[in-house]
Structure formats: C-alpha cells, structure tokens
Amino acid sequence: MARPFQKIGHGLDRFSFRRRRSASSSSPLSLASDDGDSCPMEAPAGAAPSSRRALSRSCGSKGRLLLDPPAPLAGGPSDKSAAASSSSEPPPKPAPREGPPSDAEMVREKFSKLLLGEDMSGTGKGVSSALALSNAITNLAASVFGEQRRLQPMADEQKARWGTEIDWLLSVADHIVEFVPSQQVSPDGTSMEIMVTQQRQDLQMNIPALCKLDAMLLEYLDGFKGEQEFWYVKKGADESEKAARQDDKWWLPTVRVPPNGLSESYRKWLQHQKDLVAQVLKAAMAINANVLMEMEVPEAYMESLPKNGKSSLGDSMYKLITDDYFDPEELLSSVDLTEEHNIVDLKNRIEASVVIWQKKMTHKDTKLSWGHGISHEKRGMFEGRAENVLLLIKHRFPGIAQSSLDISKIQYNRDIGLAILESYSRTLESLAFTVMSRIEDVLNADLAAQDRMNVESMRVPSLSTDETDKVVSDAKAEVEKFRRMEPVSPTLFDYVGPRDQGLNTYTSNEDTNGPKLTKVTSIATRRFSYLEKLEHLGGTRSPVARH
C-alpha cells in the first residue's frame, strides 16, 4: 500500500527526533562541534523555554546541533514574523566620508550644474550651456583673484585650485572639433582622401596662447617673493602711519617706501615688470576684442537701436565725425572723461552708431530717399573713424566696464568655443590690469617720496625768534630814518616857480651860488581853434559859398 502524502515538517523524522531527545540521558542542550568536542551546557531547573533557546543559540557559535531542526511550514507564522522584522529594519547607511571632497565628486558636481544651466531646481529655467560655462570661468577667477590687493605671490592653495579647475573647464574645448581632409594610405599602397576630426582652428590657436599668458602672469607675481623695498600698512597701525589715498580706492592697502624712495636699480626693475605686464594686457585685450568681433549681434540689441547714427551720437559728436578733417583727440576732449560712467556711455553711443552703419551698408538694395541719403562710401569712412575712437578708448581706459553691446553678445551667444575664449581672455585681462595697478601704486609712492625730499632740500632754513625780532626792529628804524630826512636837491618847482608869474629868470632858493636859468620862454595859455591852426601852418580853408 502506498504511503500517504505528508506535509513538510510532519514526517516520521520529527517523531523519531522527539523519542531520541526524551530517551537521551545527557542534557537536552548538548551540542557537538565539528571536531567531535562536546559542549554540554545545563540550564537552571526552573528556566523558561525562551532562555533555553537563547542559550542554545549562544552555544551554536561553537558548534552545531546533532540533528538539524525541521524546516517550518511554508507561509507559516514564522515566515511572516521574519518578513516583518526584515522590513522594519532600515537599510544600512554608508559611512560618512571625512575630509574634503575628492576631485571626482567636485567634477561631477560642477559639470552637473553646467548641464542644468545653473538651475539646480530641475524646472528647466537654466541659461544656455555657453553662458553657464562663461559664468563658471568668471566666478572661478573672481574667487581666486578677487583678493589680490597686494603685490605679492599667490598662495599655493589658491594657485593649485586655479590650475586644476581651469583645466577642467577648458577640457570641454577638446571635444569641439571640425572635419578636415586627410590622406590615408591602405596596406596595398593606395592612398585616399578622408575626413578626420581635429580641434577647431580658433581654439587650437588661442587656448595655448592664453595658457601661456596665464603662466607668465603667475610668474611675474612670484617675482615679488621675499623681502622687497616697499611694504603695506597693516590694519591695526596708528593713524599717523596711515595716509589717505589720493584716489577713490579707499579699500586698497596703503603702500609705504623708504623716506629717500626706492633705489635706482629696484626702480628700473619695477618699471621693467610693469612693461612686461602691459604686454600681457595688450595681448589678452587683442584676443578678447577679436572673439567679441566674431560673435553675432543679437536681434534684441538691434531692436533697441535708434534709426540712424546721428540720433545715437548727438549733433555735436556727429558733426566731428562727419567733418572733412577728423581728429579723434578732439572728439575725446569734447567729452568729460573724468567719470567712468561717462566713458561707458560714450563707448555705448559710438558702438551703437557703428552697428547702425554696418546694418545699412549690408542692405545696399534698399532705396534711399532723395536728398537725405548718405553714400555707402561715406558710411564706411564714418564707421572706420568711429572704430578708431573705440580703439583709442580701450587702450586709454583698459579697466572700464563692458559696454552694452559686449554684454548682449555674451548673454545671447550660443557658441561654447567662443564663450570659453572670451571669458578666459577677459579674466586674464582683468588680472593683468590688477597687477599693473599694484605696480603703479608702488611707483606713485616712490615719486611722492622723491618730491617730498626735493621740497625739503629747496626749503630756506627758518630764523629763530630772536633773529626775527631783530630784523623787524632794524626795518622799522630804517623806515623812521627815511621819514625824518629832508630833501637834499632842489626840485623843479624851485627853478620854475608858479606858472602865473611872468618872471624870466629864477635862481635857486636854497643855493644862491648855484646855476641860473638865463631865460624861460613864456608858456602859452591861449587855446587855438582847428581853423586857426590850419592858417597858422599855411593851410587853406575850404572854399566859401559864392553867393
């Protein structure tokens, strides 16, 4: 007869296990290890079953039971309790990492912000990738070079941060490529022309040049390491040591030089450093100007312009530019350039007129109204004159703020390569201008010390109080002496006498033996009319009427 079906956990092994357990003379908690050693553990007589189970589990770390307990029923209460206990326990948390974040984490965070367009909320309101990358380079330069208020080397930590993070941002340019033709030679010797990718030409030329300018600026700053012939006044110094700055940059520290000024050799070396930094500044300005020129003028800027260049420039400035004889210096002298906002306003007006003239020159097919049109040749000449004025302003005032046209181009630009070149060259231009300004502060302090020394050398030594009183008393006595003096020589009145006396000869009243006037001619007192004078001189009168 076949054995009936038995559920899991209710077989004959379960009952045989119970019989062996009750018949055993040893402790019910006897365990056997793998190597045969027993681990007898006896519980107290009145111990609860739960304590026995705990005791058996604690002994299980050393060995195992002689017979494994049967598996519980599938879906039984034991499975539900285990599932509930496993679900109630939270997942293990990763151990917090101590110290600064790694480079991989920083790169992941920085580029995730760039991909989202600086909008971490996820709403899709971020800026374009080109503008986000430009802002990232600008913010990095501001955080690293923003505190460069002294003429001294950069801190090693700041220099390492600048070199690392600018390399991350410039690595994007490695993937901006273009197709160029190339020759490929097959194994059988035949050659064919194929298209390969390489970095875009403007990036391939300008990025290494900008990196070289960056390294040169940091090298010039490292040249001021160690003891120098100038120093800066500390914040906690006395008011006597602090001198008010002559310009409006009150937040910059005051430079001090020795009383006799800088030495001749150090002054020449400092001037040479200034010339080198000026060359770096000109190179960065040239690259930045070329990049901005390649950017397209946004439509939003074009819509904000007036209809003609005369409305943008004004009557007086338009007359100077359109005159037959043009002098850019005369135009700049007609505007007050002492304030920065006046310079920016002049730059905005001239750039607007240039854009208007360029737009009208590109639309040559449009018909001009009779008597009010300007030929394209003249517009081209006016445009060239205005660009010369803009170039002169940029070189004369390199540290002024950006114009409206430049800001609009950067904001609406979509070319990531141009955004990298423009922002990198602009940050280097700002750093070079800052270093050159700090060198000029030292040179101005040296010039002031030399002027002060020259004034002190030319000053007349002052008299003491006793000597001053003596000089004053002598001067007063001399004045009194001249007042009491009588005339020693006869005057003209003594010789001539009164006019109403008709005397012919007079002698001196003071000296009778003196020289005598033999005869004095009589003085005429009668006044002649104009006609009588003519008759006396032999002239003739005008003819008299005949009747």
Helix or strand or coil: residue 368? coil
Per-range mean pLDDT, top range of 261-265, 406-410, 448-452: 406-410
Is 165:183 a contact under the CB 8 Å cutoff?
no
Per-range mean pLDDT, top range of 192-196, 252-256, 478-482, 538-542: 192-196
Phi then psi for 296, rounded to 5 degrees?
-75, 150
Residues in the chain, how many? 547
pLDDT of residue 43 exceeding 60, the answer is no
- Report how far residue 171's alpha carbon sits from residue 36's, in angstroms, rounded to the nearest whole number: 67
Helix or strand or coil: residue 376? helix
pLDDT of residue 49: 46
pLDDT of residue 136 exceeding 60, the answer is yes
Helix (H), strand (E) at residue 333:
helix 328-333
pLDDT of residue 406: 93
pLDDT of residue 415 exceeding 50, the answer is yes
pLDDT of residue 123 exceeding 80, the answer is no
Phi then psi for 198, rounded to 5 degrees?
-150, 165
What burial class does residue 386 get, using C-beta atoms within 10 Å of its C-beta: 0-12 exposed, 13-18 middle, 19+ buried? buried
pLDDT of residue 240: 52
Is 321:385 a contact under the CB 8 Å cutoff?
yes
Which band of pLDDT confidence, cut at 50, 70 and 90, is reported for residue 312? confident
pLDDT of residue 259: 86
Which band of pLDDT confidence, cut at 50, 70 and 90, is reported for residue 96? low
Q: For the residues 20-34, what does the mean pLDDT come to?
A: 46
- Report how far residue 529's alpha carbon sits from residue 535's, in angstroms, rounded to the nearest whole number: 10
The overall longest dimension of the chain from CA atoms, in Å, is 196
What burial class does residue 435 get, using C-beta atoms within 10 Å of its C-beta: 0-12 exposed, 13-18 middle, 19+ buried? buried
Among candidate residues 213, 80, 214, 81, the one with its CA nearest the CA of residue 144: 214
pLDDT of residue 94: 63
**C-alpha distance from residue 427 to each of 75, 142, 153, 433 (Å):** 70, 8, 18, 10
Name residue 170's amino acid: L
pLDDT of residue 362: 77
pLDDT of residue 381: 87
**Cβ-based neighbour number of residue 423 at 10 Å:** 25
pTM value is: 0.64
- Report how far residue 275's alpha carbon sits from residue 37's, in angstroms, rounded to the nearest whole number: 91
Q: If you average pLDDT over every residue of the chain, what do you get? A: 74
pLDDT of residue 478: 67
Percent of the chain scoring above 90 in pLDDT: 30
3-state SS of 50-119 is HHHHHHHHHHCCCCECCCCCCCCCCCCHHHHHHHHHHHHCCCCCCCCCCCCCCHHHHHHHHHHHHHCCCC
pLDDT of residue 298 exceeding 50, the answer is yes
**C-alpha distance from residue 241 to each of 255, 270, 483 (Å):** 10, 24, 55
Is 278:436 a contact under the CB 8 Å cutoff?
yes
